């Protein structure tokens, strides 16, 4: 069985309401993501702090555009992700 890539990676930490709200939004809109708990994966914590420069969870990375990433609960970016997903599905159907 081949696993298909997800649209986003969401780097989270325990008891993070912004992390949960981000994942809930993605779930509601059918946007696929991989959730990575930075307290359990030290390399993930190093990646988001050292390479991306973020210190606030969640950190969301678009898996198809390495320039598209953000930190915190960003409604504008979530809506943009939904619009991009809808456009991609529309293009695939035509």
Give residue-wise pLDDT tens across range 7-52.
999 999 999 999 999 999 999 999 999 999 999 999 999 999 999 9
Can you give the residue range of the structural domain that contains 30?
8-93
Within-domain flag for 44: yes
Evaluate if residue 90 carries a pLDDT over 90.
no
- Kindly report the CATH number assigned to the domain that includes residue 64: 3.40.30.10
pLDDT at 4: 55
Q: What are 74-81's contacts with CB under 8 Å, separation 24+?
A: 78/22, 78/25, 78/26, 81/7, 81/8, 81/26, 81/29, 81/31
Judge contact between 14 and 39, C-beta under 8 A. yes
Domain count, the chain: 1
Per-residue model confidence (pLDDT) at position 5: 80
- Evaluate whether residue 3 is within a structural domain: no
Domain-embedded: residue 1:
no
* Residues 15, 16, 20, 21, CA torsion sign: positive
2 inside domain: no
What residues have CB less than 8 Å from 70, skipping those under 6 apart? 59, 60, 77
Is residue 12 in some structural domain? yes
Please give the mean pLDDT across all residues of the chain.
Answer: 92
Q: What is the pTM of this model?
A: 0.90
Q: Is residue 30 part of a domain?
A: yes
């Amino acid at each position: 069985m081949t696993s298909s890539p997800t649209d986003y990676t969401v780097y989270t930490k325990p008891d993070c309401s912004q992390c949960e709200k981000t994942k809930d939004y993605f779930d509601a809109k059918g946007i696929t993501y991989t959730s990575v708990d930075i307290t359990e994966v030290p390399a993930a914590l190093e990646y988001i702090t050292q390479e991306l420069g973020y210190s606030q969870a969640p950190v969301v990375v678009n898996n198809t555009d390495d320039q598209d990433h953000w930190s915190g609960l960003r409604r504008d970016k979530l809506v943009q992700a939904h619009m991009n997903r809808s456009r991609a599905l529309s293009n695939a159907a035509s």
